[in-house]
Amino acid sequence: MSFQNPVFIPGPTNIPESVRKACDMPTLDHRSPAFARIFRPAVEGVRRVLKMDAGEVILLPSTGTGGWEAAITNTLSPGDTVLAARFGMFSHRWIELGHVHGLNVQIIETPWGQGAPLQAIEAALKADANKTGGGTIKAVLATHNETATGVKSDISGIRRAMDAAGHTAMLFVDGVSSIGSMAFQFTGWGVDIAVAGSQKGFMLPAGLAILGVSPKAIEAMETATLPRTFFDFKDMLTSYARGGFPYTPPVGLIAGLAHAIDLLEGEGLENVYARHHRLAEGVRCAIMAWGMTPYAATPDLYSDTITAVKVPAGCDGTALVQLAASKYGVAFGVGLGEVAGKVFRIGHLGMLTDVMVLSGLATAEMCMADLGWPVKLGSGVAAAQDYYRGTVPALALAAE
């Protein structure tokens, strides 16, 4: 376990030096005013990253899964109907979570590799709205970036579909693998709950679910009867108002979150998103040079944080991931569920440089050669080099 090579998993991401130091904090009395001085900037920073004009930020000592659960248990009651499209492992898991909590999940089955089907969503909402007695769908569950397939969905389009249907359901968005790395507009897109995790775009260790909650979702909390204690928004907001936390908070992670947002804003959020786009484009250049394609069906669906690479017929993506780990000490992601073996995944989110990405691509090529895949060594690297060297932003050139 040498920690020398970067990781290229779809999260957790490589933690920047200064973020590690910010998280590594001695014990602090979380009931003292010192805690509020750490907590408030973190909360305010999240608000800016999410682009929230109204509503509340909630930090749960948990992960994205806990964030999904909290979104549901704080706003819904057993038997409530929610609408969700299934097109990958993570959209699937959220649906399963709804089932476990007794929701009636109306599922729009969608091929993996596709994103959220806007027309089908609009149709389902219209049908619901036109029901005798009014609509029953309480919330739409949307996966902004499907980590399993490297597919980005159009959340703004879902909002437009909801508006077109004249439906008043809430919009819950899983932004775990997008927020902090890809543009997100909580207020602009009419999101009611956004769920992020500390270990992706925020470049922190796992341990925090980061939520934005709209006034409408907060109001829903008053009538929701699903049980919750650890994830209870009301306890959170009551404590936050006093500068506290309802139980012992992970102070180091919260301090790290504030610092990570300082890094993001120091680079400039738009620059961060542009950097992720560049990194992703370079990866895609390499993939094309290998004669392969992203699993995402069309370019508009390409994720800028994760690429699932469709492997040639007869090749096993999982074998590549295992070989990269065992022979070269480099971590990629395997295909999950119905794309197991058919893809391998390259995570290119968080604090990455062109140079780091090139080392990942070079490693993938060596594995391909080792496995007898029909790929020329250096071909993908060269394509990415060519793209990167031509697109380094003026900013980076000006700075030293």
The residues in 38-67 that bind a copy of itself, with binding defined as CB under 8 A, are 61-66
C-alpha–C-alpha distance, residues 160 and 165, integer Å: 8
Closest approach of Cβ 223 to a copy of itself, in Å? 15
**Using the rule CB under 8 A, is 388 a contact of a copy of itself?**
yes
Binders of a copy of itself in range 352-371 (CB under 8 A): 352-356, 358-359, 362-363, 365-366, 369-370
Nearer to a copy of itself by Cβ, of 7 and 161: the residue is 7
Whichever of 36 and 123 has its CB closer to a copy of itself, that residue is: 36
Q: Which is nearer to a copy of itself, 12 or 135 (CB)?
A: 12
To the nearest whole angstrom, how small is the minimum distance from the Cβ of residue 4 to a copy of itself?
Answer: 5
**Which of 111, 268, 312, 378 is the binder for a copy of itself (CB under 8 A)?**
378
Our finding on whether 5 is near a copy of itself (CB under 8 A) is yes
Residue 111 in the binding site for a copy of itself (CB under 8 A): no
206 binds a copy of itself (CB under 8 A): yes
Tell me which residues in 140-199 interact with a copy of itself (CB under 8 A). Answer: 197, 199
Judged by CB under 8 A, the stretch of 50-58, 187-195, 204-212, 299-307 that binds a copy of itself is 204-212
Q: Which of residues 279-338 bind a copy of itself (CB under 8 A)?
A: 325-331, 333-334
- CB-nearer residue toward a copy of itself: 175 or 250: 250
Q: Minimum Å distance from CB 62 to a copy of itself?
A: 6
Nearest-approach distance from CB 163 to a copy of itself, in angstroms: 31
Q: Which is nearer to a copy of itself, 9 or 301 (CB)?
A: 9
Q: Can you give the chain as a three-state secondary structure string?
A: CCCCCCCCCCCCCCCCHHHHHHHCCCCCCCCCHHHHHHHHHHHHHHHHHHCCCCCEEEEEECCHHHHHHHHHHCCCCCCCEEEEEECCHHHHHHHHHHHHCCCEEEEEECCECECCCHHHHHHHHHHHHCCCCCCCEEEEEEECEECCCCEECCHHHHHHHHHHHCCCCEEEEECCCCECCECCCCCCCCCCEEEEECCCCCCCCCCEEEEEECHHHHHHCCCCCCCCCCCCHHHHHHHHHCCCCCCCCCHHHHHHHHHHHHHHHHHCHHHHHHHHHHHHHHHHHHHHHCCCEECCCCHHHECCCEEEEECCCCCCHHHHHHHHHHHHCCCCEECCHHHCCCEEEEECCCCCCHHHHHHHHHHHHHHHHHCCCCCCCCHHHHHHHHHHHHHCCHHHHHCC
- Cα separation, 191 vs 113, whole angstroms: 24
Q: Which is nearer to a copy of itself, 74 or 114 (CB)?
A: 74
Least distance in angstroms from the C-beta of 73 to a copy of itself: 8
Q: Using the rule CB under 8 A, give the single segment among 107-115, 120-128, 150-158, 205-213 that binds a copy of itself.
A: 205-213
The least distance separating a copy of itself from the CB of residue 101, rounded to whole angstroms, comes to: 4
From 54, 127, 164, 392, residue interacting with a copy of itself (rule: CB under 8 A): 392
Number of residues that bind a copy of itself (CB under 8 A): 101
Residue (9 or 280) nearer to a copy of itself, CB: 9
Residue 205 · residue 226 · CB < 8 Å:
no
User: Measured from the CB atom, is 124 or 349 closer to a copy of itself?
Assistant: 349
> In the range 225-254, which residues lie near a copy of itself by CB under 8 A?
226-232, 246-253
Q: Residue 374, preceding bond cis, omega within 30 degrees?
A: no
Closer to a copy of itself at the Cβ: 136 or 318?
Answer: 318
CA distance 266 to 269: 8
Asked if 394 interacts with a copy of itself (CB under 8 A), we say no
